[in-house]
Structure 1
Amino acid sequence: MSDSLVDFVQSLPKTETHLHLEGALPLELLQRVRPEFRGRAPDSWAPDFKFADFAHFERELLDMAFAWFTSPERYHEAAQLIFARHLAQNVRYVETSFASGGIEFLGFDGRAVLDAIRAAVPAGLEVRIFLGIHHDGAGPKMMPVLADALTWPGLAGIDLHGFEDKPLEPWTAEYWAAARKAGKYTKAHAGEFMGAEFIRFVLDELNPDRIQHGVRAHEDATLVAELARAGVGLDVCPISNHKLMPGVTLATHPIRSLFDAGVKVTVSTDDPISFGNTLTDDYVALATQRGFTRCELARLARNGFELALLPDAQKAPLLAELDAIIAAEASDDAS
């Protein structure tokens, strides 16, 4: 790994648009509450580790995450560290979600958690916060909470989480439509474990503004062309996919073909407490494992700002900064 490549990636203004707050638990906080992790990282941080399946991943993640996340104050403390590390990597904009399961099963006050995360945002970083909801996350107890969540002024939007093979329940499409009507941005996880047909189903059923993962779209050339033409963003997490998706490695990751086909892909870490990655690591991996040039890495970063939930006037200088980097790198490539 070239130090100069790492320096270049660090210097790029970047976004992170697919980040689970609980899954971003800093290791030192986990070590405070779980003595067995003191002096070591989770086994899943090994570069070639592969989870057996999504259930294996979720079981280990929840075991670690909710050892720490027991109150809004704990969310605030973790978010302060998480966001500080974004700034240290020259990340300027973040979209992160917190899980509605904490409200449902642990009794958290969702508004209090939202406010705790918002209060941790440092100067120099723009953060948009989403509520992540599982496919079966709207039982009788939760439906009033979810309805109320659409009135929370600090909530940017909602995101569909969890096992992709669980059927979507009848409430889901109605709720996603209600969220848009309330001015909330909508996302959905799809195309990580289920194939291209599930991505198409979610797009048709929920009409989300953006897809989280979506990498299995590459299995359907027609869908890829439609995504590229419509400018639908896919928030891709390469190292996460390498450790979690069957048959996918960094060396074979579909982000290369999706990018080459003109799909607006971005780069994020997903759940770094499970994968041991930083955003810089993911960018570097794309350069070393999938042949992304520095110019292309800057274009990936630019995609993130194009999709960011920021006013055009706020995006403009960030896009101009990246355009200058892209032009300089393209000139170097041509010489």
Structure 2
Amino acid sequence: MPAPAPKPPLPKAELHVHIEGTLEPEAAFAFAGRNGVRLPYASEEELRRACSFTGLQSLLDLQQKLTVVLRTEEDFADLAAGYLDRARAQGVRHAEIFFDPQAHTSRGVPFATVIDGLTRVLDTAQETYGISTRLIMCFLRDESAASALAAFEAARPYLDRITAVGLDSAEAHHPPSKFADVYALARQAGLKCVAHAGEEGPAAYVWEALDILKVDRIDHGVSAMEDERLVARLAEEQVPLTLCPLSNVRLRVVEDLADHPLPAMLKAGLLVTVNSDDPAYFGGYVHDNFTAVRDALGLDEETLRALARNSFRAAFLDEPTREKYLREVAAY
């Protein structure tokens, strides 16, 4: 008698994934080959071994060496297709995807090349992969505020394809308040706002993201647990937090997954979600993160369902679509 088919993954939304962080070693070498770029690694295996990080900056240094292979519209389209194919196998029904235009325009790749390549695939993702998508344009916080403003102006002709703005890259010594002006422009343009805060930065950065940038979601937010008053506010206002557990371990935000504050956050009534961040570098996509926290933290099935429900509650969806996805979770 044949073995029963494995149960499909729990339906979920992914709200914190950097498209540049889905560049798998095989794809990096394939893009390098077709674009005539020489990578500083002899093989895919050597590149995988390089994914050993001492903190966020070491990840950013590695990504800078690899994003040079992304040159053409075809590259960005293939990158998006590769992510969506993996996401479908991980149970993702809706994905809100970060991209970093400054990382590409700064080396001569036109903004149009980046967004045309991505949206060529994202526009048909529902039909092709069964995944609805949103695109979030991030500003690099270790660049100047003027650079962020220039990036936003370059994006203006394409705002109909962009749902939100975000803030990523090296958090230390780059507070959210640095980007108050560009976030004000984004809100005036009708965009949603999110920001990385409380990953390697203090709880004070989460306050700034809420009060100065007026964000709709906090990306990471781990250090919020250091401030009882902030925890109470996040719980009362149900501000979503997009946690990335495997990332937190790889980047030494927590030393061991068993020490992750996720259970304490849930107990405090926070609206937390589980995501993959840069899965090609951290050894796991979103369902892998669900499985890892289940095993390391002893989470039961109902808690995992609650995390899946949270992901759709926190997503930038219209209400009928949100309810449809929540029914899928209930029926799982």
Provide TM-score, normalisation by structure 1.
0.87
* Range that drifts further, 294-303 or 66-75: 66-75
* 1:214 correspondence with 2:221: yes
Separation (CA, whole Å) in 2 of partners of 1:269 and 1:249 = 16
The 3-state SS of whatever aligns with 2:273 is: strand
User: In structure 2, how many angstroms separate the alpha carbons of the residues matched to 1:169 and 1:241?
Assistant: 20
Letter in 2 for 1:26: E
Shift of the 254–162 alpha-carbon distance from structure 1 to 2, 3 Å rule, reads same
Aligned-residue CA RMSD in angstroms? Answer: 2.4
| 2:44 paired residue number | 38
Q: Deviations over 1:40-94 (max 9, x none)?
A: 661256xxx5x22222121112212x14212222111111111111112221100
Change over 3 Å in CA distance of 1:203–1:170 after alignment to 2: closer
Aligned pair 1:226/2:233, yes or no?
yes
The alignment partner of 2:170 has SS state of coil
How far 1:145 sits from its partner (Å)? 3.7
The answer to whether the 8 A contact 1:196-1:217 is kept is: yes
Report how far residue 304 of structure 1 moved: 0.7
* Residue 205 of structure 1, CA deviation: 1.7
* Distance in structure 2 (CA, Å) of the matches to 1:281 and 1:170: 34
- Residue 300 of structure 1: aligned partner: 307
How far, CA to CA, are the matches of 1:87 and 1:236 in structure 2?
A: 20
Contact 1:44/1:275, CA 8 A, preserved across alignment: no
Partner SS, residue 242 of structure 2: strand
Q: 1:133 to 1:204 in 2, by over 3 A?
A: same
What does residue 291 of structure 2 align with? 284
In the TM superposition, what are the counterparts of 1:120-269 in structure 2 within 5 Å?
Answer: 120-121=121-122, 122=125, 123=127, 124-138=130-144, 143-152=149-158, 153-168=160-175, 172-269=179-276
Residue 77 of structure 1: aligned partner: 78
Structure 2: gaps (5+ residues): 33-38
Q: Distance in 1 between matches of 2:174 and 2:83?
A: 33
Please, what TM-score do these two structures have when normalized by structure 2?
A: 0.87
Residue of structure 2 in register with 1:59 after alignment: 61
Specify the code of the residue in structure 1 equivalent to 2:185: A
Distance 1:44 1:283, change over 3 A: farther
- Residues 61, 171 of structure 1: alpha-carbon distance in 2 compared, 3 angstrom cutoff: closer
Inter-partner Cα distance in structure 2 for 1:257 and 1:139: 35
Task: Letter of the 2:114 partner, please give it.
Answer: V
Residue pair 1:104, 1:141 contacting (<8 A) in 2 also = no
Q: Cα 1:209–1:200, aligned 2, differ >3 Å: closer, same or farther?
A: same
Per mean C-alpha deviation after superposition, the further-off stretch among 151-160 and 229-238 is 151-160
- 2:80 aligned counterpart, secondary structure: helix
The answer to which of 115-124 and 287-296 deviates more is 115-124
Match of 1:331 in 2: none
Query: How far does residue 168 in structure 1 lie from its aligned partner after superposition?
Result: 4.0
Q: Return the alpha-carbon distance in structure 2 between the equivalents of residues 247 and 11 of structure 1.
A: 26
Conserved in 1, the CA contact under 8 Å of 2:100 and 2:138?
A: yes
Alpha-carbon shift at residue 174 of structure 1 (Å): 2.0
Query: 2:102·2:151 contact (CA, 8 Å) conserved in 1?
Result: no
| Matched positions, count | 316
Q: Aligned to 1:12, what secondary structure does the other structure show? A: coil
| Residue-by-residue CA offset, 1:72-127 (whole Å, 9 max, x unaligned) | 22111111111111112221100111113234411222233112111113222111
Counterpart CA distance in 2 for 1:169 and 1:279 is 27
The change in CA–CA distance for 1:170 and 1:228 in structure 2 (over 3 A counts) is closer
Instruction: Report the CA distance between 1:201 and its aligned residue.
Output: 2.3
Q: Deviations over 1:207-250 (max 9, x none)?
A: 11111100111111221121011010100100000110344321
CA contact (8 A) 1:130 1:159 kept: yes
Q: What's the counterpart of residue 99 of structure 2?
A: 98
Q: Which residue of 1 aligns with 2:16?
A: 18
SS in 2 for 1:179: helix
Q: Is the 8 A contact 1:97 1:129 kept in 2?
A: yes
Residues 157 and 184, structure 1, Cα contact 8 Å, conserved in 2? yes
Distance 1:222 1:108, change over 3 A: same
CA distance in 1, matches of 2:9, 2:44: 32
CA contact 1:44–1:276 (8 Å) conserved in 2: no
Q: Give CA deviations for 1:142-181 in whole Å, capped at 9, x if unaligned.
A: 6344124245210111101122123348762122122112
Tell me if structure 2 keeps the 8 A contact 1:136–1:169.
Answer: no
Q: CA deviation at 1:38?
A: 3.2
